C-alpha cells in the first residue's frame, strides 16, 4: 500500500458484539540477527528494484519477492532472490537473481501505461505455481474499476486462474460498503498442508466501528476450487495499526505484521509481529454481512515483538513482507522481513532477520 492510500477510513458506527480482548504482550522472544538493504534506485535488467511487498522462501537461500509496481511506467513483476545470513556479525546479503514480468490469462504482460493490478502478497505452491494477491484499482467509474484478486500463476508469471473473493474484499462504493481503496489483500499465506489464507489490510466499511478494535476478516480458501471455506475475525485493538502480512505456521496459527500508517520516516515506522490462532470456539463469520451486528468470538492474539520506530539501533521501515528463513546451525528458527520503499528516496528496501533464542515457541 502506498503512502497516498493510507488515509484513515471513516468507521461505521454500530454496537460491537464481539468478545474481543486486548493484545497480550509477551517478553520479546525474537532476536534481531541480521539487517541489510538494497540501495535506492538499484536496477536489475534496467528496471528499478523497489516496492517489495511480499516475500516467500523457496528452498535453501532462494526466495520470491513481489513488487507492488502497478504498471505505471514499469512492468508488474516478481523477483527471485538469494538471501544469506551471518548471525555472528548480525549481517545479511541479498542478491537479485531473476526478474519475471506478470502476465494475464492470455499470456500478455500487464500494461505499463496505466494502473491495473497492484501486487502485494506472494506465496509458492508445492507443484511450482505461485499465488499472488492484488489490491486492484479503485475508480468511481465502474468501467475503469479493477477489483482486488488472488491469482494463481505458473512459474513464468502467466495467470492460470483467479480465486473467488468474499464481498468484504471487493470494491463497492469506497465510502460505506465493501473494501477500502488500496487497503485490501496485503496478507496472503499458504499453510504446510496447502491451505490458503488471506486477510484484509484495513476493515471493510461495513465492518467498521465508531469505537473499539479494527475488525479484519481472515479467510480460508479451498485451493482446489479457489472458493472461500470459512472466515474469522482478526481484531486489532489499536486501529492505528493495519495488517501488512500473514504467514502460516499451520492451519490454525499465524504470524502477522501490523504497522502504523501513515508514518514519518524520520521517526521510523511502529510495527509489531503478532501470533494469532483459530481456537476451537472461534466463530466462522463468512455469512455475516457486517461484523458489528454479529455475535462472534475472534481469533486469539499475542504480540511476540513490538518494534518502535527505532529498534536495537535500526530505524524500522515500512515492513510488508515476511517469510520463514533457514534453521541456524544451533537449531534456532528464523524469520526474514522486507520493507516496501514505495519508490521513495526517503524510505529503504530493508531486510531484517530474526531468530528465537532457546526453545522455539512455535514448535
The per-residue DSSP string of 73-124 comes to: SS--EEEEEEEEEEGGGTEEEEEEEEEEE-B-TTSPBPPSBS----EEEEEE
Whether 168 and 149 have beta carbons less than 8 Å apart is answered as no
Exposure letters 75-97 (e unless 16+ CB within 10 A, then b): bbbbbbbebebebeebebebebe
Radius of gyration of the chain (CA): 19
Instruction: Tell me the per-residue pLDDT of 90-131, one tens digit each, with 9 for 90 and over.
Output: 999 999 999 999 999 999 999 888 888 999 999 999 999 999
**Residue whose C-alpha is closest to residue 100's, from 44, 39, 38, 37:** 44
Residue 47 has pLDDT above 70, yes or no: yes
Rounded distance, CA 257 to CA 1, Å? 14
**% residues pLDDT > 90 (the chain):** 84
Instruction: Tell me the per-residue pLDDT of 301-333, one tens digit each, with 9 for 90 and over.
Output: 999 999 999 999 999 999 999 999 999 998 899
DSSP string, 95-108: EEEEEEE-B-TTSP
**What is the pLDDT, as a whole number, of residue 71?**
78
Which class for 48: exposed (0-12), middle (13-18), buried (19 or more C-beta within 10 A)? middle
Rounded distance, CA 248 to CA 60, Å? 19
Rounded distance, CA 247 to CA 167, Å? 23
**What is the pLDDT, as a whole number, of residue 21?**
41
pLDDT-derived band at 210 (thresholds 50, 70, 90) equals confident
pLDDT-derived band at 359 (thresholds 50, 70, 90) equals low
Amino acid at each position: 500500500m502506498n503512502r497516498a492510500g493510507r488515509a484513515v477510513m471513516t468507521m461505521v458506527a454500530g454496537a460491537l458484539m464481539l468478545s474481543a480482548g486486548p493484545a497480550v504482550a509477551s517478553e520479546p522472544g525474537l532476536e534481531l540477527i541480521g539487517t541489510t538493504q538494497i540501495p535506492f534506485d538499484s536496477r536489475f535488467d534496467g528496471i528499478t528494484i523497489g516496492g517489495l511487498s511480499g516475500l516467500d522462501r523457496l528452498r535453501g537461500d532462494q526466495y520470491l519477492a513481489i513488487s507492488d509496481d502497478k504498471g505505471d511506467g514499469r512492468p508488474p513483476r516478481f523477483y527471485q532472490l538469494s538471501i544469506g545470513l551471518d548471525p555472528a556479525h548480525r549481517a545479511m546479503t541479498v542478491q537479485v537473481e531473476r526478474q519475471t514480468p506478470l502476465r494475464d490469462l492470455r499470456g500478455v504482460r500487464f500494461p505499463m501505461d496505466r494502473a491495473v493490478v497492484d501486487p502485494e502478497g506472494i506465496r509458492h505452491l508445492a507443484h511450482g505455481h505461485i499465488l499472488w494477491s492484488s489490491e486492484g484499482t479503485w475508480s468511481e467509474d465502474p468501467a475503469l474499476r479493477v477489483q482486488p484478486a488472488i491469482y494463481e500463476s505458473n512459474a513464468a508469471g502467466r495467470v492460470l486462474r483467479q480465486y473467488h473473493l468474499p464481498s468484504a474484499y471487493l470494491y463497492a462504493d469506497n465510502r460505506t460498503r465493501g473494501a477500502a481503496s488500496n487497503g485490501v489483500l496485503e496478507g496472503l499465506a499458504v499453510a504446510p498442508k496447502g491451505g490458503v489464507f488471506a486477510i484484509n489490510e484495513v476493515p471493510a466499511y461495513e465492518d467498521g466501528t465508531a469505537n473499539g478494535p479494527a475488525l479484519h476478516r481472515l479467510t480460508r480458501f479451498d485451493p482446489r476450487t479457489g472458493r472461500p471455506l470459512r472466515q474469522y475475525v482478526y481484531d486489532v485493538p489499536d486501529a492505528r495499526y493495519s495488517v501488512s502480512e500473514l504467514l502460516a505456521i499451520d492451519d490454525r496459527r499465524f504470524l502477522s505484521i501490523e504497522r502504523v500508517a501513515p508514518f514519518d520516516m524520520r521517526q521510523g515506522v511502529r510495527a509489531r509481529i503478532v501470533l494469532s490462532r483459530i481456537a476451537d470456539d472461534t466463530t466462522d463469520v463468512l455469512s455475516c454481512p457486517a461484523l458489528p451486528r454479529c455475535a462472534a468470538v475472534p481469533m486469539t492474539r499475542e504480540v511476540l515483538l513490538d518494534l518502535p520506530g527505532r529498534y536495537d539501533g535500526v530505524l524500522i521501515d515500512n515492513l510488508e513482507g515476511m517469510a520463514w528463513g533457514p534453521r541456524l546451525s544451533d537449531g534456532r528458527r528464523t524469520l526474514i522481513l522486507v520493507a516496501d520503499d514505495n519508490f521513495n528516496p526517503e524510505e529503504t528496501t530493508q531486510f531484517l532477520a530474526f531468530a528465537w533464542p532457546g526453545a522455539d515457541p512455535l514448535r
